[in-house]
Amino acid sequence: MPQPASEHQLSIQGMTCAACVSRLERVLAAVPGVTSVTVNLATEEAHLITLPSVQVDSLLEAVAASGFSGSEKTSDTPIPDTPDRGWIPILIAALLALPLNLPMLAMLAGWQVALPGWLQFLLATPVQFWLGARFYRAGWHALRAGSGNMDLLVALGTSAAWGLSVWQLVLHSSTLYFEASATVITLVLFGKWLEARARRATASAIRALAALRPETVRVRRSSEEINLPIQQLMLGDVMLIRAGERIAADAVVLSGNSSTDESMLTGESMPVDKQPGSPITAGTLNQFGTLEARVTATGNQTVLARIIEQVEHAQTVKPPVQKLADRISAIFVPVVLLIAALTLTGWLLAGAGIQHALLNAVAVLVIACPCALGLATPTAIMAGTGVAARHGILIGDASVLETAHRTRCVAFDKTGTLTTGQSRLIQIESLGTIPETILLQIAFSLQQHSNHPLSVAVQAAAREQAIAALIADNQKIVPGQGVTARINHAIYWMGNQRMLNTLGMTPPALSTDDTTSWLVSEHNGTRSLLATFTFADTLRPEAKQAITRLHQMGIHTQILTGDHATIANRIAAEVGIDAVSANLDPGEKLQAISQLQQQYGTVAMVGDGINDAPALTAADVGLAMASGSDVAMHSAGITLMRPNLLLVPAALDISQRTWNTLRRNLFWAFVYNLVGLPLAAAGMLNPTLAGAAMAFSSVSVVTSALMLKRWKPNLLPETSA
């Protein structure tokens, strides 16, 4: 029997580039019992799937052996947002490097300024060996692990420039390169600081969600109110939630009336009314009244915890395109070292002096730092999934981003997806002379105390017309058939065809497949069929606009439903859906998805029920309505936290934008190196300019990713003038 898998999340400190990622993944994958490893540079995390026998300590030992430090990350581990102090070393480095660059700056202004060699040595040496010590440490760890990384390139390049300058100083030469080594280290430190700031910014969505969890909760135990740390909350506890307090756990309201702000979870700004029996969600804000609620889920089982886990998972797992970049980065550093050696040898053979040859080799080492390659994909994924989560779109699998932009067909379930799943009364057909208003009043009087979905629809229709109920005596519910009662000296029945069969009555043929109820009266022993009541599922008001937007994106739309073809075709005509497949069971929906994939290529499926789970899994992109079943949500790569179909084109839009950003970042990351390496080897870039270009490449890809944070979905139907 195969053993069940275990998952581990580790926080990693000390990674600097994509080569570090590749080295750590290789070492962790070699630990016995580890079946899958994903290391993310931007989040500084490792996600592992292992056999249950694997201990966290053995994983952390492997991390340490790789030259990094790590710790286990759990659901209770706080997401750090520490004050940024990284600018202090940069400021000191800049103050020391600036005087070294004054002669060059003065030369541009036509002045001749020269600093004494001993002063240059005193200014550059602290930058090289004190502020730049991190590069030596990390480079040494990489060498010990039999690998290379960005820090090794920086350490070798700047050490060569510094060492050459010291040698020249000993020979009393005026040609020194202390400014190159000090400036490169300063620029690299500045670039790393900007990267760290960007990583904190891209993690802001998760931090904002985690901050919704209160630290303490007020509960009633043994008739006593006490405050507890949230970790001590148990299932079945009764929470007391005052106005303005965050809700600590998922629960059901026992008493009280209020409204909650669920915007951080769903993106919906309107408050949601709560009364006894209403579910409430951890992290949401109780706005007005005091609520008593019984806890139904705590810790990792709450909706909020699952959302955080889903977003973190999406930001940790790599799409295939990033794995390709990582494989390239793994061989990149050795190749760069070889190119630097060839550059040095080539210039020496060409008759250039040792100084010129060494400086060109240093430039090669500096410009080739693969920071941008390591950051190009994860920063785009973090920014895209983070901003999507803030607007109620949970992208649970990063590989979806690589697929969703190719979507050419979206298939919709009908009930609970295109419709609300709530019935409404659409027609009353009198079979005699009684007016529809009177018929509705009789039906309302029969159904006024029932919570059956069709009864609720009758009640809603009566309230819309301000119809008052009549007094109904001897009211009785007939299970599976309907309801009966005496009203004004007559007996009335309202129910389905089984009820008519029980009463010995034969209904006329129906012209619709919609749900129908019959109203029957009995007066002085005579039974009469008074009317038919036709019910239909309520179409979501934004459905037509959502379909229109998908068509504008060039996407084919189709209904896959187990309902009657007549009903499905009517819905399709109302909202403008291109095609209909009806009377399908879950297996047939699966076959329909396969056929659509053969016809259109990439297919997305939108559903909400357990019966949709196979189709959601089989589709290239599964989008589940959060108002549906947990099974549907676990089967889909994307969960829509609001019951708004306009989130479907919005989800495809943010996926497209994220993918475009990801491709653009990778393109520029490769271009920087492909263009910069030959220029440096050819002697057209000095080490200072190479360092500036390297730092700019990292900052540019991160800045490009952060532009995604400005994205907002258009969830308002377009109005015609």
Active-site annotation, residues: 413
Q: Strand pairing partners for 640?
A: 393, 625
Q: Note whether 366 and 391 are within 8 A (CB).
A: no
What are residue 288's phi and psi, to 5 degrees?
A: -120, -80
- Radius of gyration of the chain from Cα atoms? 34
Residue matched to tokens 């070699």: 30
Closest by CA to 155, choosing from 180, 137, 136, 178, is 136
Q: According to DSSP H, which parts of 350-452 are helical?
A: 354-367, 371-390, 401-404, 436-447
DSSP letter for each residue of 615-677: HHHHSSEEEEETTS-HHHHHH-SEEESSS-TTHHHHHHHHHHHHHHHHHHHHHHHHHHHHHHH
Q: Note whether 254 and 277 are within 8 A (CB).
A: no
- Specify the DSSP class assigned to residue 104: H
Q: Beta-carbon neighbour count of residue 448 at 10 Å?
A: 17
**Cα separation, 283 vs 247, whole angstroms:** 5
**Does an H or E element contain 259, and which?**
strand 258-261
DSSP letter for each residue of 538-560: EEPTTHHHHHHHHHHTT-EEEEE
Q: Strand pairing partners for 527?
A: 522
**Cα separation, 646 vs 637, whole angstroms:** 17
Q: Note whether 366 and 687 are within 8 A (CB).
A: yes
Q: Is the dihedral of CA 429, 432, 434, 438 positive or negative?
A: negative
Name the packing angle between helices 117-126 and 178-202 (round to 10°).
20
**Cα separation, 608 vs 611, whole angstroms:** 8
